[in-house]
Amino acid sequence: MKEFVANHKLFSLYTMFVLSVIFVALAAPWLAPMDPYAGDMRNVFLPPSSEHWLGTDKLGRDMFSRLIYGTSTSLFMTICLVFLTAGLGAAVGIASGYFGGRVEMVLMRFADMMLSFPGVVLAIAIAGIMGGSIINTILALVAVSWAKYARLVRSLVIKLRSNDFIVAARVNGTKTFTILWRHIMPNVLPMVVITGAMDIGTMMMEIAGLSFLGFGAQPPTPEWGLMLNEGRQYIQTAPLMMVYPGVAIFIVVSIFNLWGDALRDVLDPRQT
């Protein structure tokens, strides 16, 4: 452990940051000084004070508490999204890469179709049709981002499937599912994990973007994109309302991007 930390100082540092973000998200109910939904409407747009550390928003809700709770909303959504996207993409990629032929044709043409659309625009369309909600946003973004993973995994699997150990397993009469699960899966996983980790920041931005446009989280959910949009109406009279969620997004996205980069450096065999 000590040796690992010494060898990967930056990665360890970023991991610390990531863990602290996760800690804030999980411990939100204990960290937040107030209920993020309850506000005193007679005290709106209060400046920062010892009672309200970052002041209050347009309905008199404590801004700091909302930011803290926003961490868990954003993180929860992003993690769901990354897992679903990577899972679906990997499954499709493994299937089309391993079986080839018609399966590959159909699945990959479908993936091409999804890739040919500008992602966020398509996500807006899907979320718009299904109606704004957290779940619909996640589904919409999964629908537009799985194709990238499918392609990546497929190319890896094509390379793997003619390897001797796979052929050997097949000759031994191993069940197809077992081959996929025991032999293929572990070999593509690192690549999927790296891509997924690097995507966390982007996904978080996309979720916040959709919420900002009104397709994602709905009021009164404390979600950064939504808070940004709420603050927009007061950009000239209470600019801090936009600054806080903006800074929160900036910090957390930066942390995850740096962490993703560092993780790649650690896991990527070419660099060791």
Residue 268 in 3-state DSSP?
A: coil
Closer by beta carbon to other proteins, 95 or else 252: 252
Closer by beta carbon to other proteins, 11 or else 149: 11
Cα–Cα distance list, 65 to 22, 55, 76, 239 (Å): 16, 10, 17, 18
Closer by beta carbon to other proteins, 100 or else 214: 214
Closer by beta carbon to other proteins, 180 or else 228: 228
Size of the site for other proteins (CB under 8 A): 32
> How long a stretch of residues is the chain?
272
- 8-15 contacts: CB < 8 A, separation 24 or more? 8/262, 8/265, 8/266, 10/262, 11/259, 11/262, 11/263, 11/265, 11/266, 14/255, 14/258, 14/259, 14/262, 15/259, 15/262
Q: Residue 259 has which token pair?
A: 């962490």
Give me the least distance between CB of 225 and other proteins, in Å please: 15
Give me the least distance between CB of 52 and other proteins, in Å please: 16
Give me the least distance between CB of 233 and other proteins, in Å please: 5
- CB crowding 116-138: b at 16 or more within 10 Å, else e: eeebbebbbebbeeeebebebbb
Q: Is 129 in the site for other proteins (CB under 8 A)?
A: no
Closer by beta carbon to other proteins, 80 or else 255: 255
Specify whether the CB–CB gap between 147 and 115 falls below 8 A: yes
Site string for other proteins, 130-169 (x = CB under 8 A): -xx-------------------------------------
Closer by beta carbon to other proteins, 127 or else 179: 127
Specify whether the CB–CB gap between 163 and 104 falls below 8 A: no
Q: Which of residues 27-46 bind other proteins (CB under 8 A)?
A: 37-39, 41-42, 44
56 phi, psi to nearest 5 deg: -120, 160
Q: Which of residues 200-259 bind other proteins (CB under 8 A)?
A: 214, 218-220, 232-238, 250, 254, 257-258
Closer by beta carbon to other proteins, 98 or else 212: 212
Q: Which of residues 57-116 bind other proteins (CB under 8 A)?
A: 58-59, 61
The residues that touch other proteins, with contacts defined as CB under 8 A, are 9-10, 37-39, 41-42, 44, 58-59, 61, 131-132, 214, 218-220, 232-238, 250, 254, 257-258, 261-262, 265, 271
